[in-house]
Homo-oligomer: A and B are copies of this chain.
Amino acid sequence: MVTSRDVARAAGVSQATVSRVLTSANPVSAELRERVLAAVDLVGYVPHAAARTMKTGRTGAIGAVVDDLASNPFYPELLQELSDAFDDLGQRLTVWTAGSRSDAAIRSLRQGLVDGVVFTTVTPTSTEFASAVDSRLPLVLINRTLDDVDCDQISTDNVAGGALVADRFAAAGRRPAFIGGPADASTSRQRLTGFRARLTELGAALPPAPWEIGDYTHDSAYRAMQRIIAEDAADAVFCANDVVAVGALDAAREVGARVPDDLWIIGYDDIALASWTSIDLSTVRQDARRMARDGARMLLERIRSPSSPVQHVRLEPELVTRGTSGR
């Protein structure tokens, strides 16, 4: 096995110098650095990660706890952006899927396998999140937020996003409804809050029970839309995300409802398929790339400066009008 002793010999320096270069612990001259790195390549030395972690206390790895990868394309899109962002910042991203099977993530968090954690789908009852807080790991919440937690958070301004849709519905004199996600998801709750508040502000009609709470799936949205159609409860439906909106759209198309003439549907996220001809969905666009890049930087900053002030960042949403609503 090639060791740092071989590197030292090939570079004509001491083992301590090799260690200084490889751990960036102390400054060395550019010339010395180049010489050592060339020797690393020459002898084919790979610093053993476990050994290095023991020495430096840093793993060079960031954990991401994600959920709904299979059911909502927004998350794989966001994860790809996160992966690119951390890679650009020289960090290794380790991904765990959350949900009922959270053992893997929790074990890793408690065992110090990562320097910090990103959560993209946190809820107040998330066991992974509780475990990260217990472990005092640097962490950042991306996309979903928690009100009463003192940590860095970045999301779209979902209240503003809901208001954008309310403005559009009210200007057209449409009777509004909302099909949401889980009650414990901040995203769905904030979008509804902004939507209702703006409708009230504008004096627009608030029908009796048009606020459907589902589980962010196509199926539950499909059933919610069937109820809305059966009761003729609305002619403009705001859906808490794009998958929900396609479920609603499919229910409308099944019964031959004319979209957008008789019925408007607006989603949230602007996932790739929202722009496909067969879907052609009006939606509130989230800037997933910026959310990922700014969130990644916030986490690295937190790792470097544990006591710097906590940041809550909200990005501006944008309404994208396509074939399921009027202009």
Contact = CB atoms under 8 A, between A and B. Distances in A.
Contacts of A110: 46
A327 interface: no
Nearest to A276: B250
Given A70-B77, A113-B49, A84 B101 contact: yes
A321 interface: no
A107 B46 CA distance: 9
How many copies of this kind of chain does the complex include? 2
A93 interface: yes
Contact of A93 (B54, B76, B96, B273): B96
Interface string A67-90: 001110101110111011011100
A246 B278 contact: yes
A63 B79 CA distance: 16
A69 B78 CA distance: 10
B70 A80 contact: yes
Contacts of A278: 246, 249-250, 253, 278-279
A200 interface: no
B112 A48 contact: yes
B54 A51 contact: yes
B97 A80 contact: yes
A87 B70 contact: no
A272 interface: yes
Interface of A: 46-51, 53-54, 59, 69-71, 73, 75-77, 79-81, 83-84, 86-88, 91-97, 101, 103-104, 107-108, 110-113, 218, 246-247, 249-251, 253-254, 272-273, 276-279
9 contacts: A50-B54, A50-B112, A69-B80, A70-B77, A83-B104, A86-B104, A94-B95, A253-B278, A278-B279
